[in-house]
Structure 1
Amino acid sequence: MSRYRPPRSAGTPLITAEGAQRLRDELHELWYVRRPAVTQAVSDAAALGDRSENAEYIYGKKMLREIDSRVRFLRKRLESLKVVAQQPSDCSKVYFSAWVSLEDEDGQALQLRIVGPDEIDTQRRHISIDSPMARALLGKSLDNEISLLAPVGEKHYWITAINYSEPTS
């Protein structure tokens, strides 16, 4: 049996304008700021002599490989992404980039935003459009109920608000 694993799919190629800008900013930071600094550090370490036992040189080369790998990924990914900058024509339903307020069976409020897989951020309550929660929400409107199968059993949520600009609370 071989150890080959097919590559994972990159997910839905959608991204918000803010998410695309963050990826472009990261690419700029890596290519124009960090890579030149690391390259200079590697050059300085190489000038010290024996490279086989030079930790700064070895670590610097490893950092360059990691930076170059991330740069290649970002360039390729940015080419394939479709930026969604406009609101949908029907803002009364849940679509990509929507902020959705939910309430569960216990009355607990939950607020989240549906974004692309490159923008997932639990601290900011951004979930991927490919997630089970987002798939259940897509196309639903205010006061609709959704059901999700969770490890603790089936969970029910009701949509209490749909907004396409970031809520203030």
Structure 2
Amino acid sequence: YATCLCARYQANPTEKHLKEVKRIFRYFRGTVNTGLWYTNDYGFELTGFSDADYAGCKDTFKSTSGGAQFLGEKLVSWSSKKRDCTALSTAKAEYVSLSACCAQEHVEKGTIELYFVKTDYQLADIFTKALPTDCFNYLVRRLCMRSLSPKELEHLEKSQ
């Protein structure tokens, strides 16, 4: 999320943006051994999470939508996008996010089911807004991301 937010100002960056980019690089340096971790399970249940903020961009007041899709426990797709239209309410922001996926038709046909997910457990939040550290770390674990030492990575490479 932070990288996308900073990218919006690349044409006219300020000192504040440079400071944030440096913070992002420090984060990258500390998580160089972090990546998606897929187990050998064979679950094929498709689960998706979608969310949108309300006028989250302070310059254009446009909303950001995000989503994550899992096949079993494996993260297979994710996205974050600033919407082209400005939502007039949080409900409209959510609708815009869902309508982009043509979900309404599938709900009516019974092809998919929609459930409300409290913000504490909403995986799509990691793609749409800045989060407190504890919430961010929780969601990173839920996305099946793990941090492995160089020794562990070497061991995994040899066992392949």
Q: TM-score, normalised by structure 1?
A: 0.21
* Structure showing greater Rg: 1
Higher strand share goes to which structure? 1
Q: If the length of structure 2 is used for normalisation, what is the TM-score?
A: 0.21
